[in-house]
Amino acid sequence: MKPERLLFTGPRTLRAEALDQDAWTQVRHGAFYPASEWEALDAGERHALLVHASVPKWADDRLVSHWSAAALHGLPTIGRWPNRVALTVAGRGRTSQHVQRFHRVNELPIPVQINGIRVTAPLRTVVDLARCTSLRSALATADAALRKEMFALDELRQAVSELPTGVRGRQTALLVAELADERAESPLESMSRAVMFQARLPRPELQVIVRDGRGFIGRCDFGWDGLLGECDGKMKYGADLTDDPSTAVWREKQREDRIRRVADLARWCWDDAYAEGPMLRILADKGVRPRPGQQWIA
């Protein structure tokens, strides 16, 4: 994603009608990006470009925040990215019909700058999202921020504990702070863990090292007594992932055979976890079912 590649049009500059419509994609009114490069971007990167395309219109008394700050920080969310840019402003705020959504605060938080744009810091961004999005999405954002060492878990818990009692989203934010874990390596792992928690499944071990009599086999996303769980179908095997495709497939089959001699294995994909039911049925078929009174948090 290259913000400098944005092309702005207007009555005093290049007119949009003069552009080759096949070569350029409209990011927002008056802002275009090379179509071939746009196609290669993921949804978060596209939203980040929307922020860059919109920011010149704003004054210094507002900060990019919430999901838009997450996009600029390179942090994931789960679900569709909004087509409005999120801002935090001091005083009165409003939502336009185009791209701006305003969040009112009495005093602006201390910002950071990304490519000259004033943005809420990663910790504030995660807390904001934990208060206004789903547990699965907020957990994915928090896990990724911890993994990138943007802040420490203790800092997250302290920030959440300081939210006023009764403030909107506080309970979800408290849950996110208790469940967040830097060991999660993808949004899919974070979402799977949120689904497990909400379904009251036994809490799994994370990033389980698997060995047999011959030594190290690999690492699995989740582990319970006698069962390993993989939510992307890709075991972390280590150094020889550089094998050519045919050799890699053969090695994976060999390793999976070794794993299954050590423990049973459950696999699921993004759609299974997103819909919840399919993933829960896969785990139930392997004996991982809801337990009354199951506690993840002390």
- State the architecture of 188-285 in CATH terms: 3-Layer(aba) Sandwich (3.40)
Which residue shows structure tokens 């799977």? 192
In single-letter form, the type of residue at position 248 comes to A
> Which sequence spans correspond to the domains of the chain?
3-182, 188-285
Residue 245 is predicted with a pLDDT of 66
The pLDDT tens digits for 79-138 are 999 999 999 987 665 566 555 677 777 778 889 999 989 999 999 999 999 999 999 999
Mean pLDDT calculated for residue range 210-217: 88
- Say which DSSP state 166 is in: T
Instruction: Indicate the pLDDT class of residue 239, thresholds 50, 70 and 90.
Output: very low
Looking at residue 142, its pLDDT comes to: 99
Going across the sheet that includes 62-64, the strands are 100-105, 85-90, 62-64, 117-120, 111-114
Q: What is the pTM of this model?
A: 0.87
Q: What is the mean pLDDT of the chain?
A: 88
Exposure string of 146-173, with b = 16+ CB inside 10 Å and e = fewer, is: bbeebbeeeebeebbeebeeeeebbebb
